[in-house]
Every structure is written in structure tokens, then in C-alpha cells.
Amino acid sequence: MRAHRGVAHRARAFAAAAIAACCAALLVPATASADPQGLLETIHQQQTVTSTVPDNGDQNPYALAISPITAGKVQRNDVLIDNFNNAANLQGVGTTIVDYNPATQKLSLFANVPHDLKECPGGVGLSTAMTVLKSGWVVVGSTPSNDGTTDTKGSGCLLVFDMQGNLATVFSGENINDPWGNMAVVDNGDTASLFISNAGFGVGKVTGYVDPPVFKQATVLRVDLAIEAGKPPVVKNQTIVASGFSERADRGVFLIGPTGVAFKDGKLYVSDAIGNRISVIEDALTRDTSAGVGRTLTADGLLQRPLAMCLTPAGHLLVTNGLNGKVVEIDPENGRQIYARWIDTDKAQSPPGNGDLFGIVMTPEGDGFYYVEDDVNTLVLAR
């Protein structure tokens, strides 16, 4: 997530991550209990499984998505990872998606697009918004820059690839401005609804600011797709289901704004990084107006700038922290923060793991999760 700590050489990055992964992980209970209350208490180890750096040297892995199908270059249960930085470690100029196959333990290039792609306003810098649809399409967000800062950022777009890694179509427009956070998806095969946070409205230069101003303009957009067999998805409707979240530019992490989104039982959960809380948007799949910033499910406590988010098989939320190396488990039924687990204990940062975590996704079996340590450009499996 940070721009200035990139590791240029893959071997060095992989070795550093492997050492960090061997460190003992600390569980911090929100309440004491003899029986496991959630997934994090059953996790025994973290294993670094691959470097995420492709041959062109792109760095700073952000998005994670598990493929539900086998098609083209991709096998079912493969992990797709995109990169936000280029080989020079400039943010907002990464253009590659890589594919990790758990069966072969091999990493391969899935897609690479030009940074100056004219169909995408401002170009390409692949963000944490990514999904693989059942119909065989990969949708990924772009939050672009030309110099690694928001001084030159564009509004970006959503890129759609076929399963061979070929660019098929691009979605852009007034509702899309720096699609930033991980994507929640309701996928019915021939239709799909994507929930995407946008953190670029009003955000501009960092030059000249000690602390860039905060804007309350970030949104969560629902994009409803129709998908005809053999043809790229078509946007049928766009609805802003949430708005008014805080966002700002940042020298170290490019943008700070709503990042994680997860959908369950009609409710959309949003990690409000600046507000240090998890928000709930009711009737997210059917509503036709904005719910504003929704209601607060939980705030502060174990949360330290909540970022990416996913759902466990039991329906709990797993949320990575931006200001330390912990992941926090939350029960959405009552907002109780169950546990926090140190999954990145790298003492090169203070607190350990500060700024290292971003993407997170459950394993297909539901017994653990993948996450990225973006300071050392690695994919890690916790189970």
C-alpha cells in the first residue's frame, strides 16, 4: 500500500516475507472465551506461497479474487492478484494481473494492458476492485496516476477481460471516480451486481499540503450487469447506494477512503477508513437511492483504519487494518469485535505490519484466507 517501501528484486521480497510469516502470530481477544467464537481462533499458521511480481517488475499487490470456473488461462480456485505500482514503485501505474495456481504452486501472467489506455480516463493503475464472474469475465478497477501521486490522478474506469486475459470492454462515466476498494458481488450467471467504492471525487493534489484536505464525497456504486452468452457484460443500471464517506489524498498510500465492501442478506458492509468504523447499508441490492453513510455497525476498538473485507462461511466479517498488521473478525449480527490476529509481524514498520495489508479473500474450502503483504510483494495463505 505504501509507495516508498517497494522491493525491487523478487528474491529479496520473497525471502523477507517468508521470514515474517514464520513469526508467531498474536491473538487479541475482544472477550475471553473457552470455545472458538470465530474463524481467526482456528487459524494455526501463515505460509508465504508466492511472490506476486511479474516479469515487468510491477509491485504493490492490491486486489485478490478466486476464480469460480476453469476457462482460458485460469483454473477453478486460482487466485488472481493485481498490481497497483510499476517497477519504479510509482503508485497508480501498475498494469498487470497475475494468476497463482494452488495445485501447481506456479505464478503466471494473466493480463497486462498499456498504462495510457485511452478508453480509461487518466490511464491504468489497477486497484483493489476485482472479481471473476461465473460467466467467465474478470472485472477490475483502475485508479490511475502519471507520476505516482494524486497530483496527476485520473478518474479511472472498470476494465473487463475475457479468461484469456484479453481486454474486452471498459466501463467509465460520471459515477466512476477512482474505484478503490475490494468488490462485493451478487453473481447469478446471466446477471450480476457489483458493489464498488469510489474514493476520487474532489480529491486532488498533495503538493503543498502537510495534511491534504478531507472530502466527504466518496460513494459506493452498484453496477447491474446483463451478460449474454459469448458476449461481454453490458451495464443495465448504475445506482449510488451510499455517499458522503470521507476521503483524502495521501503521499504514502495514495488515497484513504472507504475500501472494504461485503454483501450479506440484503445488507452491504462498508469499511470507512477515515471514520475508523464499519457501516451498514440496508436493502443494498434493491434500493434506488443513496443511504448516505448508513448506520454504524462497530467503530474503534480493535479497528485501526479498516481496509479490505471478506465474509467467513459463518457470516462473520474479516477486516484488515491499515495501521497495524492485524485482521479483525466481527459478528455482523451484533457488531461484536471477536478477535484480532497479527498476520503481519514485520518489525520494519511501527506498529509491526503498519501499512502492509490490503487484499483479503477466503479460500474456496472456507478453512482459511489468502492475503497480500504489499511491502514485500507476496501472497500469503492463513489456515
pLDDT of amino acid 126:
98
What are 209-223's pLDDT values in tens digits? 888 999 999 999 999
Q: How many CB atoms lie within 10 A of CB 15?
A: 16
Which of 11-15, 30-34, 100-104 has the highest mean predicted lDDT (pLDDT)?
100-104
Q: How confident is residue 2, by pLDDT bands cut at 50, 70 and 90?
A: low
Tell me: pLDDT of 32 over 90.
Answer: no
CA distance 175 to 172: 8
Q: How many CB atoms lie within 10 A of CB 213?
A: 10
CA distance 136 to 60: 26
Please give the model's pTM, rounded to 2 decimal places: 0.91
Please say whether the structural domain 10-382 has been given the CATH code 2.120.10.30: yes
CA distance 62 to 327: 16
- Radius of gyration of the chain from Cα atoms? 19
CA torsion 23→28→33→35, rounded to 10°? -40
Closest by Cα among 114, 79, 80 to 95 = 114
Tell me: pLDDT of 299 over 60.
Answer: yes
Phi, psi of 151, deg, nearest 5: -55, -35
Q: How far is CA 235 from the centre of its chain?
A: 22
